[in-house]
């Protein structure tokens, strides 16, 4: 049996596997083995320090010039985050001032240290205009200093990992929903969403997207991947991932596949610990590694591949000493066997290898910042993502000191210098090939007009670009001007409606109910479901109990007696506090119910409602695995794969505050004299369409939820 089966080749690309030597046995299209080995010997492009470098001997002190060149090359291999920055003496851990425009100290740091890129988070993004202005300033700063253009990156996977506001870019339902639609629509949604994300990000000045995730979700309790995965099929994941990568990169935005060699079968979140995958070598070959191998071998390979902070003993069981002096299996991010021997040499990846964020606990709790960077570079990483937390001027100086130390250690070692030079040249080749510097070749007004035209809010155009004399439609962003954003909303709706899956209870549809009672994970989901209920029936009566804290059982019993149907919304694994929507009371969050408590309470309420002859609906809003247990208590099970809500700026009077036969004391706290917030959810609108008979669910679960 061959190692991998690549769909675009008639014979296996990899035909043998020797774990000890990781022998190179592939030929990749136009790239021969000899060509690959010599590919690092390329001419320099723009920076004088990219020329060949002869390190000093171990017994000779490096010259200042040598150290400077090494340091500048190392700087190109750094990608920093500036989520917060305080220019005063605020302690780094206490600084919470979002960076929405670049302070001069940060601009100086980027240019003086020749930093290669930055990653943006939601804290950095307020509006399209603000984002374009900041990114343009970043690139102009580097050009004025005579330095390389920056990788400006973001995590915009879609679904639960989406950094941009939904007024700029719809979040869509995410990869698992795409997987649920694939049996009927093939790669259509992967391609359309990848293209739409790329076309939206590029005018904003974002040239790199850490997406898609092609992890195979084979663990029901995976806390970090779950709906970010296309599903449990390696072959389908490869096809959908390839379509996403191809479409987004054709739109001009670089893709980073993640998380190599596969984060899907883990129960630990690498943000808080170090997960371990105990798959055999055979399982790894036919499962986790296959999507990466196929996409790398496709006509449009990804520009980058991101490493995972996981232990994978069948791929590398080497033990290393951590900062506590204990031996542990090397994480993939720091493994030469995984990053160089496997990814670079065996799979033939000739793009950039980027680490996952090095400040995550999977690395930071075991290794110092400097050691983590040094080991990642030794393992074969081209870019260290978030290697040092910079929140104040003192952090800047400490980071510079780390760069100096890394340079001194590197020039003393011939192999380190050879790796640094080759890696630095790969970075420059990638930037030159994708022309990252072209962003500042046009005036900022050009990008402001284009970016604002793509958002959901009509904004006057600049008369300097399109005179108003040519007509109202030319002068203002109305009707056709924000067509791209409107198309995105259409794709979002279509994906939700194409992926929603009836898990059980077909004969119970449609549900004939006027009085609805719901148990939802939090207040935001309660309000969003109300919006969805009223969208299908303006005469409906509705009450909802948010489950941040477990409600009084007597109150629940009285509500069920007054209702026609019960909806229980489930988010498993439990969503984080920052995903709640900000509508729950802080005092309740301190005593938030656990997942086990919610499961037990939900089962109790569903049994109670069924015993009274009520129609019981179980809505799996995240992973569908929990529907197996719910089959014993519910009449209908539906999977949406999405639980995103949007708190809209306008307000409306909640129907929950009206005087009807449902007990008012059970409702979310909304003052009857004041309108409550308007909260909307495409997935919950889709759910109610299915329950009311307005939509036939055609999705198919991409994971085996009944096993």
**Catalytic center residues:** 356
Q: Are 446 and 466 in contact (CB under 8 A)?
A: no
**224-234: b or e for each residue (b if 16 or more CB lie within 10 Å)?**
bbbbbbbbbbb
Q: How far is CA 234 from CA 214, 346, 458, in A?
A: 9, 19, 42
Dihedral sign, CA of 666, 669, 671, 672?
Answer: negative
Q: Are 621 and 640 in contact (CB under 8 A)?
A: yes
SS3 sequence, 353-417? EECCCCCCHHHHCCCCHHHHHHHHHHHCCCEEECCCCCCCHHHHHHHHHHHHHHHHHHHCCHHHH
Task: Give which of 118, 45, 80, 77 is closest to 382, Cα–Cα.
Answer: 77
Alpha helices, DSSP H, located in 117-187 = 128-144, 175-185
Q: Are 263 and 308 in contact (CB under 8 A)?
A: yes
**440-455: b or e for each residue (b if 16 or more CB lie within 10 Å)?**
beeebebbbbbbbbbb
Tokens at 542, concatenated: 């509705």
Neighbours of 258 (CB within 10 A): 26
State the Cα–Cα distance between residues 66 and 221, nearest whole angstrom. Answer: 50
Q: How far is CA 76 from CA 79, 254, 385, in A?
A: 8, 17, 11
Map tokens 């150290």 to a residue.
Answer: 67
Question: What's the half-sphere exposure (Cβ side, CA atoms, 13 Å) at 225?
Answer: 30
Task: Give which of 96, 129, 117, 482 is closest to 303, Cα–Cα.
Answer: 117
Question: What's the half-sphere exposure (Cβ side, CA atoms, 13 Å) at 16?
Answer: 7
Strand partners, 43: none
State the Cα–Cα distance between residues 504 and 694, nearest whole angstrom. Answer: 18
Tokens at 602, concatenated: 């939900």
Tokens at 545, concatenated: 């109990």
CA 483 remoteness from chain centre: 25
State the Cα–Cα distance between residues 674 and 682, nearest whole angstrom. Answer: 25
Reduced to 3 states, what is the DSSP secondary structure of residue 60? Answer: coil
State the Cα–Cα distance between residues 258 and 494, nearest whole angstrom. Answer: 26
Strand partners, 328: 320
**166-189: b or e for each residue (b if 16 or more CB lie within 10 Å)?**
bebbbbbbbbbbbbbbbeebebbb
Q: Is 457 left (phi over 0), alpha (psi -120 to 50) or beta?
A: beta
Q: Are 567 and 670 in contact (CB under 8 A)?
A: no
* DSSP state, residue 345: I
CA 117 remoteness from chain centre: 18
CA 637 remoteness from chain centre: 28
Map tokens 């700063």 to a residue.
Answer: 141
């Amino acid at each position: 049996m061959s190692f991998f089966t690549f769909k675009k080749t008639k014979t296996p690309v990899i035909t043998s596997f020797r774990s000890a030597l990781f022998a190179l046995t592939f030929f990749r299209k136009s790239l021969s083995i000899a060509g690959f080995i010599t590919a690092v010997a390329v001419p320099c492009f723009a920076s004088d320090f990219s020329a060949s470098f002869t390190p000093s001997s171990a017994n000779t002190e490096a010259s200042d010039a040598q150290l400077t060149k090494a340091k500048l090359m190392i700087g190109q291999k750094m990608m920093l985050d500036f989520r917060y920055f305080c220019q005063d003496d605020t302690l780094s851990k206490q600084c919470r001032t979002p960076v929405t425009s670049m302070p001069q100290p940060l601009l100086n740091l980027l240019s003086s240290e020749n930093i290669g890129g930055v990653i943006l988070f939601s804290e950095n993004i307020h509006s399209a205009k603000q984002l374009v202005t900041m990114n343009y300033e970043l690139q102009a700063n580097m050009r004025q200093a005579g330095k390389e253009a920056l990788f400006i990156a973001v995590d915009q996977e879609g679904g639960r990992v989406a950094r941009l506001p939904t007024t700029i870019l719809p979040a869509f339902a995410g990869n698992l929903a795409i997987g649920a639609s694939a049996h009927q629509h093939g790669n259509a949604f992967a391609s359309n969403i990848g293209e739409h994300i790329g076309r939206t990000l590029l005018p904003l000045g974002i040239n790199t997207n850490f997406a898609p995730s092609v992890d195979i979700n084979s663990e029901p309790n995976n806390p970090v991947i779950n709906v970010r995965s296309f599903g449990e099929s390696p072959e389908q994941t490869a096809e959908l991932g390839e379509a996403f990568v191809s479409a987004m990169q054709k739109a001009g935005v670089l893709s980073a596949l993640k998380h190599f060699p596969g984060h899907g079968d883990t129960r630990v979140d690498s943000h808080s610990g170090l997960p371990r995958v105990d798959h055999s070598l055979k399982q790894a070959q036919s499962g986790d590694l296959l999507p990466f191998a196929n996409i790398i071998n496709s006509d449009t390979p990804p520009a980058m591949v991101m490493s995972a902070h996981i232990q994978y003993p069948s791929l590398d069981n080497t033990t290393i000493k951590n900062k506590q002096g204990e031996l542990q299996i090397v994480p993939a991010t720091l493994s030469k066997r995984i990053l160089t021997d496997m990814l670079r040499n065996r799979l033939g990846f000739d793009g950039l290898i980027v680490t996952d964020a090095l400040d995550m606990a999977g690395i930071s709790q075991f290794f110092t910042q400097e050691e983590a960077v040094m080991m990642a570079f030794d393992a074969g990483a081209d870019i260290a993502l978030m290697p040092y937390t910079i929140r104040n001027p003192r952090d800047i100086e400490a980071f510079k000191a780390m760069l100096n130390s890394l340079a001194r250690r590197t020039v003393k070692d011939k192999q380190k210098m050879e790796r640094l030079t080759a890696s630095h040249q790969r970075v420059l080749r990638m930037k030159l090939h994708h022309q990252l510097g072209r962003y500042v070749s046009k005036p900022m007004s050009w990008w402001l007009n284009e970016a604002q035209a793509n958002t959901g809010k009509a904004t006057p155009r600049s008369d300097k670009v399109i005179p108003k004399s040519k007509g109202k439609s030319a002068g203002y962003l109305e009707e056709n001007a924000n067509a791209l954003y409107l198309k995105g909303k259409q794709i979002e709706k279509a994906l939700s409606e194409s992926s929603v899956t009836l898990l059980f209870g077909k004969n119970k549809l449609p549900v004939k109910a006027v009085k609805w009672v719901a148990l939802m994970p939090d207040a935001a989901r309660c309000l969003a479901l109300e919006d969805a209920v009223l969208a299908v029936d303006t005469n409906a009566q509705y009450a909802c109990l948010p489950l941040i804290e477990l409600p009084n059982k007597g109150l629940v019993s009285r509500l069920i007696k007054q209702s026609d149907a019960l909806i229980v919304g489930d988010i498993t694994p439990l969503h984080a506090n920052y995903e709640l929507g900000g509508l729950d009371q802080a005092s309740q969050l301190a005593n938030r119910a656990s997942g086990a408590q919610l499961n037990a309470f939900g089962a109790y309420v569903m049994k109670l409602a069924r015993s009274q002859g009520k129609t019981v609906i179980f809505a799996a809003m995240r992973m569908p695995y929990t529907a197996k247990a719910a089959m014993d208590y519910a009449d209908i099970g539906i999977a949406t794969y999405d639980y995103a809500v949007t708190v809209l700026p306008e307000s409306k009077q909640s129907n929950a505050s009206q005087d009807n036969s449902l007990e008012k004391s059970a409702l979310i706290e909304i003052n009857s004299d004041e309108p409550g917030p308007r909260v909307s959810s495409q997935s919950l609108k889709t759910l109610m369409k299915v329950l009311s008979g307005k939509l036939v669910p055609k999705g198919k679960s991409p994971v085996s939820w009944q096993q």
